[in-house]
Amino acid sequence: MALHSLGSVLDYGGMAGNPRVFFSHSSRDQDLMKEIVTGAQIALNLKREDIRCTSLDGYDIPSGEDIVARLQEDGAESDCFVAVVTPDSIRSSWVLFELGARWGIQRHLVVVIAAGAAFGDIPPTIAQRKARRCTRDDLEILFQEIADLLNTKMDIGSGRRYFEAAEKLSEAKAQFRVSEQLSSWNYDAERTELTVVKFRKPFEMELVGRTIPFEVEVHPPTFGPDKLWIFHEVGGLAWPKTEVDVSGGYGSGTTVEGGTPPHGAMVLSAVLLNPQAAETVNAWMESGRASNHWPGLNSIKGAIRVGSVKVIVKT
């Protein structure tokens, strides 16, 4: 969808309660937006209704309202407009729609680059505007500028931990994309399984320590002679960690990450091993204990991933 002016949105009467700060973003970046928006609200001493961020509860469009009309109005009438450019948002027709409306009226518009996006990913129409990266320092500068625009006092300290979390999350999301693009880890493509494992803990993109408690739900609750293991995946390679004892369709335990994943980005995978694959993994474990050398694996005949969750390891 090309960027274009939507100045005509101002031709009708304004809606009550336009936000002071409008965040244009992709709903796929909800986890990142939660940190940025929470930090901004606290640091700028704003109320929830002062901020529009449609993917977050409490900052969304009120129930029953016309979504398109409200986005047009809020995007045009907000005092500040922050576009969060990520690999997901640059493919979003909604984001381009919002940017087009704001660009057309030539009001305040700033860009934050995050999650592996580059300055070259900024839509051409607004590419000449000064942009910030999703780092703690840049976010503090950005929201200090917004505080001056809103004529409010910026409390940098209160928002700092959220901006730090946003920086770490942004870096991890970028690393996950790199790992997925370069992945050499191949599961047995010939196997097809109906087993599905859902991680109840940890949560997707959760910040975790090196010792990671996990809980899984397995459907169906039995899977014959196969074994269920937890693997760690980093940079396209995988490391078997622990077998999961499944009872009544549920399993739990802990797994330990001894390395340093780039930017903390790691995937916990539930992997089903047939008897042949289980022998391969057991032999790998025995070799590791004897040599204290644990090379990452790029394939195991008879192994198949049946569930996974992305986490960020505090290193």
In tens, the pLDDT along 91-132 reads 887 788 777 778 778 788 889 999 988 888 887 777 777 789
> 274, 226 in Cβ contact below 8 A?
yes
C-alpha span between 265 and 42 (Å, rounded): 27
Q: Give residue 5's pLDDT.
A: 30
Q: For the beta carbon of residue 107, count every other beta carbon within 10 angstroms.
A: 15
Q: Residue ranges of the domains in the chain?
A: 7-177, 196-313
pLDDT digits (tens, 9 = 90+) for 234-287: 988 899 999 999 999 999 999 999 999 999 999 999 999 999 999 999 999 999
CA atoms within 13 A on the CB side of 251: 22
Q: Provide the edge-to-edge strand list for the sheet that holds 196-201.
A: 196-201, 211-219, 250-256
**7-177: what fold?**
Rossmann fold (3.40.50)
Buried b / exposed e across 214-253, counting CB within 10 Å, b at 16+? Answer: bebebeeeebeebbbbbbbbbbbbbbbbebbebeeeebee
Task: Return mean pLDDT, the chain.
Answer: 85
First to last CA, the chain: 41
Q: Mean per-residue pLDDT for 127-150?
A: 89
User: Band of the pLDDT at 143, cuts 50, 70, 90?
Assistant: very high
Measuring CA to CA, how many Å separate 243 from each of 18, 181, 204, 208, 225?
53, 28, 21, 20, 13
| Equal CATH topology for 7-177 and 196-313 | no
Whether residue 59 is predicted with pLDDT greater than 50 in this model: the reply is yes
Strands 227-234 and 237-243: antiparallel
Whether residue 227 is predicted with pLDDT greater than 80 in this model: the reply is yes
The domain 196-313 having CATH identifier 2.60.40.10: the answer here is: yes
